[in-house]
Amino acid sequence: GQNIDQPTEMTATEGAIVQINCTYQTSGFNGLFWYQQHAGEAPTFLSYNVLDGLEEKGRFSSFLSRSKGYSYLLLKELQMKDSASYLCAVRDSNYQLIWGAGTKLIIKP
Amino acid sequence: SQTIHQWPATLVQPVGSPLSLECTVEGTSNPNLYWYRQAAGRGLQLLFYSVGIGQISSEVPQNLSASRPQDRQFILSSKKLLLSDSGFYLCAWSSEMEFGKLFFGSGTQLSVL
């Protein structure tokens, strides 16, 4: 079966750095996506990785290791507005998105 | 620029009543369109997707149906709602070439009582 695992909840302090991990087992791989979802709102696209390595976009970076079936989202200089759920999704060999259940990130002052 | 509209934002319906949720996309042509459902604290469940007018693929057998009467219009329907249909419904679009990079509507919170 296809499976994506990410921690249910994480807590971090304002101004700090947090890493949210995602491991996957899917039928083929055609890219990994990270989305941010604030409570009661729709998800918004954050990043896309299809090759191994780190993609940096401002305070957010996303890393991929295809051989390990592993990705992480790194958030630096945390702000209160970063409190949200972060969803990992993998595009499989049929170009369908397989979604993780999301990681709820709580930022404390 | 592209925009996606979804309505209504909130809906409370009795069991057995019909449902119609509508979604329209502006600023792009021939988008891929999707209906997702998200139960509280759960991941996104793909319900339907469409790559063109009249072309609907169903991912989960249930009492819901979808239609795409126009290129940029996607409708989610039910003839008789069940309690288990409660959830957060999201419409999304992607370009033909970028499957996976989805742009979501604002969502409909459906409560079936």
Q: What is the rounded average pLDDT of the residues B45-73?
A: 90
pLDDT for A38 = 96
Residue B62, min C-alpha distance to chain A (Å): 20
Lowest mean pLDDT among A17-26, A61-70, B59-68, B71-80: B59-68
Q: What is the rounded average pLDDT of the residues A49-71?
A: 96
Q: Is the pLDDT of residue B97 over 80?
A: no
Q: Where are the alpha helices (DSSP H) in chain B?
A: none
* Site of tokens 């969803």: A87
Lowest mean pLDDT among A73-77, A85-89, B27-31: B27-31
Q: How far is CA B36 from CA A10, A80, B64, B91, in A?
A: 25, 28, 12, 6
pLDDT for B18 = 97
Q: Smallest Cβ distance to A97: which of B90, B100, B103?
A: B100
Q: Smallest Cβ distance to B43: which of A31, A96, A102?
A: A102
Query: Can you say how many angstroms the Cα of residue B20 is from the centroid of all Cα atoms in its chain?
Result: 10
pLDDT for B43 = 83
pLDDT for B111 = 96
Omega within 30 of 0 (cis) for the link into B8: yes
Strand partners, B3: B26
Q: What is the rounded average pLDDT of the residues A1-12?
A: 94
Q: Is the pLDDT of residue B99 over 90?
A: no
Q: What is the rounded average pLDDT of the residues B50-55?
A: 91
Q: What is the rounded average pLDDT of the residues A5-15?
A: 97
Rounded to the nearest integer, the mean pLDDT of chain A is 95
User: Confidence class of residue B41 from pLDDT cuts 50, 70 and 90?
Assistant: confident
Within an 8 Å CB–CB cutoff, is residue B44 touching chain A?
A: yes
Within an 8 Å CB–CB cutoff, is residue B99 touching chain A?
A: yes
Q: What is the rounded average pLDDT of the residues A7-12?
A: 97
For residue A41, the chain B residues in CB contact (below 8 A) are: 106-107
Within an 8 Å CB–CB cutoff, is residue B14 touching chain A?
A: no
Q: Is the pLDDT of residue A94 over 90?
A: no
Contact A30 B100 (CB under 8 A): yes
Of A90, A16, A10, nearest to A50 (Cα)? A90
Within an 8 Å CB–CB cutoff, is residue B42 touching chain A?
A: yes
Of A10, A32, A82, nearest to B100 (Cα)? A32
Within an 8 Å CB–CB cutoff, is residue B100 touching chain A?
A: yes
- Token pair of A36 as six digits: 């941010």
Q: Is the pLDDT of residue B61 over 70?
A: no
Q: Is the pLDDT of residue A17 over 90?
A: yes
Distance CA A71, CA A65 (A): 6
